[in-house]
């Protein structure tokens, strides 16, 4: 049977520790130790007499890569209180045209907090939603967790996601087999909806005509054009689709179409299809927070449109770290 563990990878020289969730799929009869030398990741299955194949939600972190990046460099322009702490409730920064500036490094503001000693699994219930505290601290780069919605993006919807009948058994099978066919663990790109809840940092680079979202996983990127361009009439399906945004007051309204078929948006295997229309309404109520309201209208996969809110929190005094999933990847051969 499969087991799932939470692992921490470290770089002692830079005193940087980042926490990632990993899959551990038990597949073989002999007891062995599996090591991912490129990442310094080490796991042992103990006395159960099995071989553990490790698939990291996140990829290799080597000291060579870490030393070459600005993981502890102070972030410019951060509002701080008299004691030096980040003023999370300070006003949001503005672009040259007066609109809110979403630039910054972000992680989920609603991390999943599994029960003590529990194993991370798509079957495991998400932790309860925590009350929002406007004077809280920035995201902790040494403890990057997946969001409450990472396994089941509809966890807070009454009755769950409104699947079409054909999708119900597929999601059940994917959940029951611990998402062994998840494109993420095969090093394929994460769709932008899913990326908001994954245990990886996102970097927003914002200008009046373009919002670029960089993901540290596999050097991924997404472009949101805000120059009033129309969406394509017959888009060639792509991993992130085609996104065009416009402002409604201080809220950026982004419409996206043209995603690939069977695009996973959570660990349970819920999907988007090419018929999907996705609308994000993003606002930055203060310096330290983003609120991303996502509405999915995909009549092929769901019986009605549904809406969730994916909250993000700022991360300061760091930068993205290369996470190239295929670098020294040795896990998929054990999962066939």
Contact 147, 108 (CB under 8 A): yes
Is residue 322 a contact partner of residue 216, using CB atoms and an 8 Å limit?
yes
Q: Mean pLDDT, to the nearest integer, of 236-243?
A: 97
Joined tokens for residue 148: 């409450």
Average pLDDT of the segment spanning 7-28:
39
pLDDT band for position 36 (cuts 50, 70, 90): very low
How many Å separate Cα 50 from the centre of its chain?
30
CA pseudo-torsion sign 289, 295, 301, 302: positive
Residue 146, classified by CB atoms within 10 Å of its CB into exposed (0-12), middle (13-18) or buried (19+), is buried
Least Cα distance to 331 among 34, 5, 37 occurs for 34
How long a stretch of residues is the chain? 336
pLDDT in tens, 64-123: 444 446 888 999 999 999 999 999 999 999 999 999 999 999 999 999 987 765 557 788
Handedness of CA 223, 233, 252, 88 (dihedral sign): negative
By three-state DSSP, how is residue 187 classified? coil
CA atoms of 315 and 269, how far apart (whole Å): 29
Q: Please give the helix or strand (H or E) that residue 175 lies within, else none.
A: helix 167-176
Pairing, β 271-272 against β 41-44 = unpaired
Q: Could you tell me which residues come within 8 angstroms of residue 308 by beta carbon, excluding any fewer than 6 positions away? A: 149, 153, 154, 156, 157, 293, 294
Domains in the chain: boundaries: 3-69+325-334, 104-315
| pLDDT tens sequence across 260-313 | 999 999 999 999 999 999 999 999 999 999 999 999 999 999 999 999 999 999
**Per-residue pLDDT reduced to its tens digit, 154-210:** 999 999 999 999 999 999 999 999 999 999 989 999 999 999 999 999 999 999 999
Within 10 A of 197 (CB to CB), how many other CB atoms are there?
A: 27
Q: Residue 17 — very low, low, confident or very high, per pLDDT cuts 50/70/90?
A: very low
């Amino acid at each position: 049977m499969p087991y799932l563990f939470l692992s921490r990878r470290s770089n002692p020289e830079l005193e940087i520790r980042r926490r990632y969730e990993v899959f551990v799929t038990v597949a073989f009869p002999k007891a062995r130790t599996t090591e991912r030398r490129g990442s310094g990741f080490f796991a042992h299955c103990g006395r159960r007499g099995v071989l553990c194949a490790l698939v990291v939600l996140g990829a290799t972190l080597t000291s060579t890569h870490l030393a070459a990046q600005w993981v502890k460099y102070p972030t410019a322009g951060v509002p701080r209180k008299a004691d030096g702490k980040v003023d999370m409730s300070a006003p949001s920064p503005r672009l040259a045209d007066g609109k809110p500036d979403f630039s910054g490094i972000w992680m989920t503001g609603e991390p999943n907090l599994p029960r003590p000693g529990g194993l991370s699994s798509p079957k495991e219930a998400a932790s309860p939603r925590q009350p929002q505290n406007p004077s809280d601290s920035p995201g902790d780069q040494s403890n990057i967790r997946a969001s409450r919605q990472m396994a089941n993006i509809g966890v807070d919807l009454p009755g769950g996601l409104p699947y079409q009948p054909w999708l119900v058994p597929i999601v059940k099978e994917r959940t029951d087999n611990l998402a062994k066919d998840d494109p993420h663990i095969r090093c394929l790109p994460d769709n932008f909806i899913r990326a908001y809840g994954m245990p990886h940092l996102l970097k927003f680079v914002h200008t009046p005509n373009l919002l670029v979202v960089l993901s540290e996983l596999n050097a991924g990127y997404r472009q949101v054009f805000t120059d009033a361009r129309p969406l394509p009439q017959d888009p060639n399906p792509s991993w992130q689709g085609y996104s065009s945004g416009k402002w409604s007051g201080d809220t950026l309204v982004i419409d996206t179409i043209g995603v690939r078929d069977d695009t996973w948006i959570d660990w349970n295997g819920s999907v988007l299809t090419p018929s999907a229309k996705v609308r994000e309404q993003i606002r930055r109520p203060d310096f330290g927070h983003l609120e991303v309201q996502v509405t999915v209208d995909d009549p092929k996969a769901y019986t009605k449109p549904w809406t969730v809110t994916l909250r993000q929190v700022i991360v300061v005094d760091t930068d993205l770290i290369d996470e190239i999933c295929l670098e020294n990847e040795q896990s998929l051969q054990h999962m066939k």
